Structure 1
């Protein structure tokens, strides 16, 4: 990040708007911020921190104290910060929470905090975020740093970094935790501790479950307390013995139970047979009783048979009686109907005579009805003429309204033509297309194609580079395997050659046994034998020699094959390297060096460049689309102008037509007024008279029609009833004769079947259901009597010579035998339940012991890991402190480079290796080595100037390390707040020399100080002036 400008308004001691333009520094990368104490020097960095993160730089400043006390209530407090980051420009504006005067009334209202973040592209700002959280998240993502890391890296505040060398190990740990975000390791330590606690609880749970299983064991009652108190292994051993004892007892109980079951079954079979004899005796007694009851019912059965015979005879008479009753009922019906018709005939005759008189009277009123009709027609004609007159008046008003409407439409049309013409003129000016747009678009497309091709080549280079790395790893792995096989081949070769040498030695020894002094040697021919071959220690067999030869041959072939593969691997690697070198050569202008990071950076740069070109193309396309849209709009408006002109002509024609029509209607109205065809212009009165005349006429017509209808109706009804009465009288006489004939036939039938009277016949008459019931009772009695007699005969045969047994005594004896069997069964069940439960306990305990053993192994490992991570170790060093110590070591390496320069090679910072007392955590204490004395001592013993140089070195080292761990963030701005006043002239020169080395990295360095020598050494100064109306600032150059 490199600051460009920062603007403060009503911020801190600055009442008026103040802008610091860092671009005026030019090539001066170090500048001094000077001014009176309290004037607002540190406020500049406060404003920068507040703009980015919404918080001030120092730990003793908060957001609520940022508003200037010099500012008027109407003046808002805000900071506007413009900065560059990785080749892009951003602007952030932030306003703190503040009081604002109410627009209406008196008093103030609270304005909430606001923030806006823009990206500046070609002097145009694009909004990236407008909510405080969104701005904070986006800033942190862009910077790659949070607030704590930023203020530790960008600025060395007053006294802040002194804490790193003066505070104890615990407080230094908190500072490093905030900077390097090592909460994860503390959480990991807590996780280990919680996991160990969890496993410990699970171990206790297993122990509890084992105790619960021990409680379930069924021991022998005489030894229960003794067995229960033994240790777990003894308990499991005794439990197994107890199970074996229970199994033996269970087998004995089962044998005894089987004997009792057989005894019960045998006796029960005897009881069942005796029970059968008893049941037969009971059945015989019951059947004898039923036989007597059937004999007592025989007289009743005889009566029912006689009653059935009489009912059958009566059933044959019933059809004749029913025919007689039907005929008599029909006669009575016709007689009643005839009487009603005669009464109706008398009544209709009187009504017919009255209707005829009324008809004759209405017939004579025909002339009166005609007069009423003519009067009604006359009133209708007069009303029609008046209605035509009134309609003409309404039509005239309608035409007049239409005329006004057409006049207004003509005026509107003229205004629309005027406005449309103005719009057309503006669009004609706007759509004059820039002739260079097509050229720009073509150039951008060509550029897009070139950059896209370059990105593809860079991506190909990235892939080829990865492939080259893989081939190099393959080559290294292959070479390791090649060297191993080569070594194995050499060993097998030496073994084989050694075996051959042993064989040759054996042959020489054999020959030496036959050597004789002064006799020539058969090998060399010499007669002197000063060193005959000695007996070898051991000689291998031919099979062993063959195996050694085969082993050597196999390794030698394997080595030959690897040499061939080596040529292939080397060839592939060389080809890949040449391809990668070619791509590097082709793309060397786009990369800093031949490294993976440079490739990635080039790909990212090409992607960003590609995105910018696409964005420019999109903007250019939008511009051309706007011009095309306006051209289409212009065509539409020109067409609309033609339509408006045509519409104007049509409206003029319609206006003239409406005026002619109104004139014609007015002439017709004058003609009707002169005609005098209606006496009044009161339409309602005239209509009322016409309605009244119509009612009189219609009433007379309705009376005439009613009289005609009634007369015709009554005449027809009297003629119909007269005919019906005559026909009814004739049919009644015929029915009387038929009824008498049916009655005589019924009497003859009664005499035939010996019924003395009609009453006796009706008493004997039965329904079919009653006859079926009587027949069923007779049949059931006879059938049951036969069954009972036959069954008694069979029982007498079966029970002949038998006596009725005493079942109560037999059942009592059977129950005693069953009780003995059930008692034995219960004892067996109890033993089986205890045996099963003991076996389950044995199985469960074995599983629990096995699971507990596996869990215990995990628990011991995790518990030990938790203790180590928590710092419960000889070094008193927790996991998080170990990581922080690693970061601190990196910081010290960078810090000592500067401290060595500023202290003329005297001091060197180191991390103390001593262990803290009384169980305190160690690992982060600092000491210095004084090379003048060769002694180590605490950093608290340093003087003020030495402490400042140490703090400054530590701060610069911190910035370098945090920057390297923050994802490659590049920071080009640094501020140092005071501390130089504690240095002597030599130390000051050393410190300034150290700071000038920061310019080599193109950093901009601001120093806040009152030291005069710094004012002389640094030409660029940002002077802060303090006054009664607030502070102001400006750049001054020597």
Structure 2
């Protein structure tokens, strides 16, 4: 990887645009980046890292990106970093713009946040032009990481060599070195192997304990079921003889239960026999009591029948008279109908005679009929006169119609003249309405085009407000989760420290006499350590560690969610700005109101067109009506003359026909009423005569029918006649009497009932008590049998389950022993692991040996052959082999810890270590060539001779066209290194000045 050019705008301390030509600086191979403290030397390296990975190294990285913006930049200048480099034979250009808060456009007050943007381009040497590859943050990040083969942490260690970190690395303990090496060499997979083995060990151990617990549970359950028939020895989970003892005790309990079941079966059989006998005796007593009660009840019913014998005879005699009277009923009905008909006919005749003239009041039916015929003949002679009268009425009506038509035509002409006088103003008003509606339709179309974008902008603003609330809530949750994770980590470390302090007691818990100790190998244990009240075991520590890990994962998830929500918020804010949603909603509401008003106004267009069309049609109709009324007026004059002549002729004819009556119709009405009255009176007289004859005949028939039925008079027959309801009631009473007599005779004739009445009264109470006692003893025997059967069945089931559990436990124990040995070996706690090294530590130790070998090649040159770095497998203070790092002093021949080096020695030792680590990590990452390196500070602690030796080593890195940049403010380096990039700080921001290139 070679850097060519870096462009910085509004980044860190650089307020204005700055450029770095690395090609020119790299020509000398070694160049110096210097400037006063706080000028921004490290910010140049931050810009390189940000361009590649989208974040800056170490503690300077943040979540939002807005901290990268220069405080000296103009408000309208956007922060931007552009890096041009060659990697894997490809020349690329990366441009990154973090999110920034810019002033709102136009005349609006306030600021808004623009979202982050990234571009990746590649130079096409064939066409001699740049081509765009991607604008996606994720795609560009994956592309750069794949090309470099390093994560951001690895890049910061092997390209931006931070000497302070490696000085601490030299003095750190094995755990701190392991964390750094683990990040650089990605040994997490080995730690995952350890974790996986430990999890499998815990899982298999839990399954074994679960099997033992299940077996013990079954044993205790069998003991509860068996009661005193099973004695269970004092056993615990993990005892070797647990399965055998449980199965043996279960066999004894099953045998005892089966014997008790046999005894219970015998007792139940005896109780069932006694119960059967008692039930039979009770049934016999109940049957005797029933028969005796039945006989007594029949005697009582027979006595009641004898008491009501006279009432029965009276009812039967009444029923007999009613049956005879039924033969007279038709004659009675006929006579009643004839009497009613004669009464109605006489009344109608009387009413009809009241309307007759006085000279006809006493006439008979023939005389009345003859008078009616004479009135009808006179009425027929008035037919011609009636037609003339009707024609005269029509003529007068026609004359009235002509008058109405004349008045109507005059009104129509007058109304038409009035309407036509106002036609032109009305037409102009309608045309104005049409023009206004057309203008409103055009305005509605324009407002509709603005409405949808305004609605979308309102939805986006509301989504921005929701995202703002969600970002705040997510950030708060992430902060709370981080605090909880830190708290749980502290609790885990405290528990771990407590466990390590009491580890002796935990190891002593597994000591047995005669077995060798896993620590010292002794077979005698005179004074093993004892657990105190606050002892922490492995399970408690593991639970605390799991809780800490879960909290860390939750914290990471919440931080990622916060970042995602913030990115979404930035995108939405860039689209809609920071205008309040209420204001946008008010604008949308006003726009909607204007649109609705315009649409309502435009909706009147069709109605206005229709109204104008109707008005024009009405104008034509009124002109035509005025013309037609004039024509009808001329026709009416001729028609009036004709009607006047015909009226005179008709009036003379009618005067002759009506006589003394007011009119012919009145005379005809008189004759019609007289004919009707005479006809009605004649009909009524004939009907009255006929009904009188029928009544006389009905009286004769009724007297004859009563005599034949045995009644003295027709009245006596009518009194004996029964209505249907009375007849049914009396018949029902007779039927009940007969049924009761039959039932009583049948009971008193039953042999078994008569025999039972002669016996002593039945003893139901004694038989019931004996049956209840037998039933109670039967229930007790059945309960005892059921309990014995249930106990036997349950013991069989639990024994079978215990046998299955014992068979399944055997392979589980074998698996647990195998996994536990392997997990202990990987964790460094096994006696077979001589150096007590964890698997990950073992891998890191091999990597540390490679780093120490690569660093020694340069350390010898820097120290004039005095110092050599070596890796040490010596055990740490906790009894395990660590990642030790020692220095061999050739002047004394002794090996000592790197923490004993002086300040200057620590610097060039850490520099050599950093360079060696860079070589090893580069090979580990896939062999990507690093043509540009940066070394940050630490040269001020060197004397002149050592400084020369260090610079010679750095100068040797220029082989094969490699360039090295030194970041330092040491003045002596300015005289020794000619190619320089000076960082100058000022009130308006820092700037970059190349020198010697």
SS state of the match for residue 161, structure 1? helix
Match of 2:653 in 1: none
Structure 1 residues 996, 841: CA separation in 2 closer, same or farther (over 3 Å shift)?
same
Residue 315 of structure 1 pairs with residue 326 of structure 2: yes
- Secondary structure, in 3 states, of the residue corresponding to 1:309? helix
- The equivalent residue for 2:3 is 3
Q: Answer yes or no: is the 8 Å Cα contact 1:46–1:56 preserved in 2.
A: yes
What is the aligned partner in structure 2 of residue 749 from structure 1? Answer: 705
Deviation at 1:916, TM superposition (A): 0.8
| 2:258 match | 247
Q: Deviations over 1:1003-1035 (max 9, x none)?
A: 553333467887687664434445565543344
2:748 is aligned to 792
Are the structure 2 counterparts of residues 795 and 985 from structure 1 closer, same or farther at C-alpha, using a change threshold of 3 Å?
A: same
For each residue in 1:357-389, what CA deviation from the matched residue of structure 2 results, as whole angstroms up to 9, or x when unmatched? 999899769767645644543554566577678
Q: What is aligned with 1:939? A: 898
Q: Are 1:285 and 2:317 counterparts?
A: no
Equivalent residue runs for 1:534-545 within 5 Å? none
Return the alpha-carbon distance in structure 1 between the equivalents of residues 116 and 395 of structure 2. Answer: 106
Q: How does 1:477-556 map to 2 (within 5 A)?
A: none
Question: Which residue matches 1:917?
Answer: 877
1:320: how far off?
4.0
Name the residue aligned to 1:119: 121
Deviation string, structure 1 residues 760-818 (Cα, Å, up to 9, x no partner):
44443345565455445545544553454355334169839973475344444444444
- CA distance in structure 2 between the partners assigned to 1:365 and 1:252 by the alignment: 127
Name the counterpart of 2:83.
81
Q: Residues 239-278 of structure 1: matches in 2 within 5 Å?
A: 239-266=250-277, 268-269=279-280, 272-273=283-284, 275-278=286-289
How many residues end up aligned between the 2 structures?
734
Q: TM-score, normalised by structure 1?
A: 0.58
Alpha-carbon distance change, 1013 to 328 in structure 1, aligned in 2, over 3 angstroms: farther
3-state SS of 1:917 partner: coil
Question: What's the secondary structure of 1:914's corresponding residue?
Answer: coil
Q: Is the 8 A contact 1:98 1:113 kept in 2?
A: no
For residues 185-242 of structure 1, the C-alpha deviation after alignment (integer angstroms, 9 at most, x for no partner) is: 5566556556655665666655555555454456899978975657855565344324
Given that residues 226 and 257 in structure 2 are in contact (C-alpha distance below 8 angstroms), is that contact kept between their aligned partners in structure 1? no
- Partner of residue 90, structure 1: 93
Question: For the structure 1 residues 956 and 372, does the alpha-carbon distance in structure 2 shift closer, same or farther, using more than 3 Å as the test?
Answer: same
Give the 3 Å change call, closer, same or farther, for CA 910–386 of structure 1 in structure 2.
Answer: same
Shift of 1:165: 1.9
In the TM superposition, 1:983-998 aligns within 5 A as 991=950, 995=954, 998=957
**Within 5 A, what are the aligned runs for 1:565-964?**
728-729=680-681, 730=683, 732-733=687-688, 734=690, 738=694, 741-742=697-698, 745-756=701-712, 760-768=716-724, 771=727, 774-775=730-731, 777-779=733-735, 781-782=737-738, 785-786=741-742, 788-795=744-751, 799=755, 803-804=759-760, 806-808=762-764, 809-853=766-810, 855-864=812-821, 867-873=824-830, 875-899=835-859, 907-919=867-879, 922-930=881-889, 935-964=894-923
SS in 1 for 2:328: helix
Q: Using the alignment, how far apart are the partners of 1:80 and 1:229 within structure 2?
A: 78
Partners in 1 of 2:204 and 2:300 — Cα distance?
Answer: 87
Query: Are 1:892 and 1:954, in contact at CA under 8 Å, matched by a contact in 2?
Result: yes
Report SS of the residue matched to 2:165.
coil
- 91-100 or 327-336: bigger deviation: 327-336
The answer to whether the 8 Å contact 1:324/1:743 transfers is yes
Q: 1:175 aligns with which of 174, 180, 193?
A: 180
Counterpart contact for 1:345–1:718, Cα < 8 Å: no
CA offsets 1:227-263 (integer angstroms, 9 cap, x no match):
5657855565344324323322332342243234334
Residue 17 (1) aligns with residue 28 (2): no
Partner deviation per Cα, 1:12-68 (whole Å, 9 max, x = no partner) = 443432111334468665544344555433321122223444544454687777555
Q: Contact 1:34–1:1008 (CA<8 Å) still a contact in 2?
A: yes
- CA deviations over 1:541-574 (Å, ceiling 9, x no partner): xxxxxxxxxxxxxxxxxxxxxxxxxxxxxxxxxx
Shift of 1:321: 3.8
Give the one of 1006, 1017, 1023 matched to 2:965: 1006
CA offset at residue 746 of structure 1?
3.9
1:383–1:105 distance in 2 versus 1, CA, 3 Å = closer
* Whole-angstrom distance in 2 between the partners of 1:345 and 1:371: 47
Q: Secondary structure at the match of 1:303?
A: helix
CA, structure 1 residues 717+899, in 2 after alignment: closer, same or farther (shift >3 Å)? farther
Does the 8 Å CA contact 2:69/2:100 hold for their aligned counterparts?
Answer: no
For residues 1031 and 247 of structure 1, do their structure 2 counterparts lie closer, same or farther at Cα, with a shift above 3 Å needed?
closer
Q: How many angstroms apart in 1 are the aligned matches of 2:817 and 2:214?
A: 20
Distance 2:434 2:790 in 1: 112
Alignment gaps of 5+ in structure 1? 347-355, 404-664, 670-676, 679-685, 698-703, 705-710
CA separation of 1:393 and 1:984: change in aligned 2, threshold 3 A: closer
Question: Could you list the per-position Cα deviations for residues 634-662 of structure 1 after superposition, in whole angstroms to 9, with x for gaps in the alignment?
Answer: xxxxxxxxxxxxxxxxxxxxxxxxxxxxx
